[in-house]
Amino acid sequence: MFPPNPNNQRQDNQPDGSGEPPRPQFQPPRWIWVVLILTLLMWTLLRLPDMVGGVLTDQPIEVSYSFFIDQVEAGNVSEVTLRESIARGQFNSTVTFPPNGSPLLDQGVQQRTSSAFTTTLLPVEDPELVPLLNEQGVTVVGQTTEVNPILLFLFNWGPLLLLVGFIFWSTRRVQRQAGGIFGFGRTQAREYDMERPQVTFTDVAGQAAAKNELVEIVDFLKEPDKYIALGARIPRGVLLIGPPGTGKTLLARAVAGEAKVPFFSIAASEFVEMFVGVGASRVRDLFNKAKAGAPAIIFIDEIDAVGRQRGAGLGGGNVEREQTLNQMLSEMDGFDQTESVIVMAATNRPDVLDPALLRPGRFDRQVTVALPDRTGRQDILGVHVRGKPLDTDVDLESVAKVTVGFSGADIANLANEAALTAARRNRKRITASDFSEAFERIVLGTQAPPLSNEHERRVTAYHEAGHALTAALTPGTDPVYKVTIVPRGQAGGVTAFQPEDDRRLYSREYLLGRMVVGLGGRAAEEVAIGEITSGASSDLQMVTSTARRMVSQLGMSDALGPLNYGDDERQPFLGYSLSQGRNYSEETAAKIDAEVRRMVEEAHQQAVALLRDNREKLDALAQDLLENEVVERDRVLEIVGIQRETPSFEASQNEHGH
């Protein structure tokens, strides 16, 4: 099988924001906590004198009234403080409680000594108490209960204040909710101020051509008067086109960082809501904010979410999306020549955009942000290994050579995976083996436990040996890097290849040879096992797709000639091809099918013939796989009988898996 190519999948390091945000939980307002803390603090301050007094002096023990009178008559009381129904005082000397078996008010208290006491006065007035105290020479102090004004205010007005505060908080909460409803049409764009740390062109590597295209935009934002004085009109819109992960958003941020202007960033999907007219309102609000902060940059990521062709597909288009697009078109047309607002957008599907967006006066400049070449990949690696301690055996040029087809995001992921691998192994530096393992993890998938079924192991070994042997014996194909029958990702086994260099043009001989290699696994099963399995399902899909494109789109068929029949299977609009119809007859369609079948069958017969003529080599390679589970490039070439120098750390993202 051919496992899915990871370079055709977007690899972002940021969390997916497409999910619905969690509902906010109820939290009490801050002023409630403030009131509670202040109340506790005031209570503590009011109780502090009593608490300190209890600590610094003898702890008084409550005694009965009769015991108190007995001590006064005995002349053992020196001072008494009368306070409503409580009497507190001091004895002339320390007294043991309870003396002579006299009971205490608290029966559970153990006998102890103290010079302080407290007692409860009789509920009726005792006219003999004060004369008795004066007769015994006891110092009498009268004390009235003083109510703290703060506590009195809190007791009297506290509940009312709490009620008023709760009503005020509830009213504000309702107003905020209502404001959210009425602000439904406001823009969701995130504004990055010029004073914040900005990305510059020095942080963008591997895209020299794209940066050169954007230098003029930066110069205009810095000095717009120079262009306006000459009557020049700067492009109002710049469309960044390129595969996912090539750095389109990073380039837009770098333009804002170089020009030192506000940067409004929003995803196109944030314009569209279920209510018609909301997206258009958000577009108006976004452009009004940008004009108020001009010179400024508006960046719209994945603009194809809102800028698709109007009326395409079955049943027309989405009304809300089309109104949003119409508003965007009118806003871009409404730019004055003196307005220093530039709209930048990014997409990896320029073929689905509405033609009105791409006409001069709107997105009149298109910048291609392609996959980096070898030099660009090396520069990007240099950016992403900053701050990472590398061992002396790490050669960034070799890593850049083998990462053919990697985008900037892929290379950033490779450097991060290498650092994680080194950390798992408790290393202080990142070595070349860490990069190699990280590369294989990304390209081939995570290694799974070996196959336990002996028959499946044997079938897989011959299948992968068939891929490797046909690749080594077919001229013009990519050389083999590694063969393994250890499951990686969704594949039961993998044959990895290493291209010689970046390839932009594919010859007919190369594509035919790739078809032979793709069918090598199926042919090996027929030759060595005597039966076919489902392991070649993705191989057959790849080979059939390659043959059909060669016949119908690339003009590489002798039977049909150099014609393109325009049957684009990647058309994204539902029912669009049905409404347009095919531009060729049924007879031509039958010829295309017959030619595709002929090319696939010829590649299959060639693969079978190669393996039958080299059966000993096929058996030797399969046996080596069964014994060692992994066969490197040197061993494959040794079995085939080809001598070739093996560079260090070479691999490929083009692989065949069983």
Report domain extents, the chain.
57-146, 190-368, 376-442, 454-657
CB of 631 within 8 A of CB of 462? Answer: no
Angle between helical axes of 454-473 and 508-518 (0-180°, round to 10): 160
Tell me which DSSP letter residue 559 carries.
T
CB of 477 within 8 A of CB of 517? Answer: yes
Distance of alpha carbon 149 from alpha carbon 146, whole angstroms: 9
Distance of alpha carbon 411 from alpha carbon 183, whole angstroms: 41
The number of beta carbons lying within 10 Å of the beta carbon of residue 648 is 12
Per-residue pLDDT at 608? 94
Taken as a whole, the chain contains a residue count of: 658
Angle between helical axes of 454-473 and 615-628 (0-180°, round to 10): 130
* CATH class of domain segment(s) 57-146: alpha beta
Radius of gyration (C-alpha) of the chain in whole angstroms: 43
What are the phi and psi torsion angles at 575 (to 5°)? 80, 5
Angle between helical axes of 537-552 and 586-613 (0-180°, round to 10): 130
Per-residue pLDDT at 105? 43
Per-residue pLDDT at 27? 53
Per-residue pLDDT at 658? 52
Query: CA torsion 263→371→429→203, rounded to 10°?
Result: -30
Q: What share of the chain is helix, strand, coil (3-state, %, to 5)?
A: 50, 15, 35
Residue 90's H or E segment, with its range, is strand 86-97
Listing DSSP states for 74-129 in one string gives TT-EEEEEEETTEEEEEEEEEEEESGGGPPPSSTTPPPEEEEEEEEEPPSS--TTH
Q: Walk along the chain (658 residues) in steps of 10 and give the mean pLDDT of each run.
A: 39 37 48 67 61 52 82 84 81 67 47 76 81 81 69 70 75 56 45 56 84 84 80 81 87 83 78 61 80 81 80 56 79 65 86 83 84 88 89 88 86 92 91 88 80 87 92 88 84 82 85 93 92 89 93 88 70 50 80 93 94 92 90 86 55 46
Beta pairing, strands 61-63 & 112-120: parallel
Per-residue pLDDT at 209? 84
* Residues noted as catalytic: 464
The number of beta carbons lying within 10 Å of the beta carbon of residue 357 is 23
Per-residue pLDDT at 185? 44
Decide: residue 510, CB within 10 A, 0-12 exposed, 13-18 middle, 19+ buried: middle
Give the CA count within 13 Å in the CB-facing half-sphere of 237: 24
Beta pairing, strands 365-368 & 237-241: parallel
pTM, to two decimals? 0.63
Question: What is the distance between the terminal CA atoms of the chain, rounded to a whole angstrom?
Answer: 4
CB of 205 within 8 A of CB of 380? Answer: yes
CB of 604 within 8 A of CB of 519? Answer: yes
Strand partners, 267: 301
Which residues have CB under 8 Å from 544's CB, separation 6+?
Answer: 596, 600
Angle between helical axes of 454-473 and 586-613 (0-180°, round to 10): 100
Task: Quote the CATH superfamily of domain 454-657.
Answer: Peptidase M41 (1.20.58.760)
Please name the residue ranges forming H helices in 334-407.
355-358, 374-384, 396-402
Question: Which residue in this structure is represented by tokens 């003529």?
Answer: 613
Task: Quote the CATH superfamily of domain 190-368.
Answer: P-loop containing nucleotide triphosphate hydrolases (3.40.50.300)
* CATH class of domain segment(s) 376-442: mainly alpha
